[in-house]
Amino acid sequence: MADFCLISRRTLTPMEYDVFRFHFLLGADWKLCCCRLHIDRGTFFHTVYRIEQKLGRVFRELEPYSLFPLDEYFGGTMSNDLDSRHCSRRALSIRAPSRILRPPVGQSAA
């Protein structure tokens, strides 16, 4: 997460970073972003497309490892609901070890 934010701040212009922070990180819709940043709707969406293009390229070409998956960073949805497949967990039986390992106890030379 820190890499994602630091790379974004380093790559984007101050105005682009403000749009990125409000829209992508804080989840504000376009109306709130336009009101807060004093820009019109067209400028906002052109800035969003430019941000996606710039950061997509930077995240893809990042060395030594690129940040993936890009679609989850820009198009993923967040929810607090757990998926049903994550909730159905089987109870695992715990077997007692067949042999107990005991470390050797040495005599102290005093």
| Domains recognised in the chain with CATH numbers | 2-75 (1.10.10)
Give the list of residues 6+ apart from residue 74 with CB closer than 8 angstroms, or none. 24, 52, 56
Q: Which pLDDT score is estimated for 61?
A: 84
Tell me the backbone φ, ψ of residue 28, rounded to 5 degrees. Answer: -75, 145
Q: Which pLDDT score is estimated for 82?
A: 54
Residue 5 parent element (H or E)? helix 2-11
**Tens digits of pLDDT across the chain (110 residues):** 777 889 999 999 999 999 999 999 999 999 999 999 999 999 999 999 999 999 888 888 888 777 766 565 556 555 555 555 555 555 555 565 566 666 677 666 65
Q: Which pLDDT score is estimated for 21?
A: 93
3-state helix, strand, coil in the chain (%, to 5): 55, 0, 45
Q: Which pLDDT score is estimated for 44?
A: 96
Q: Which pLDDT score is estimated for 53?
A: 93
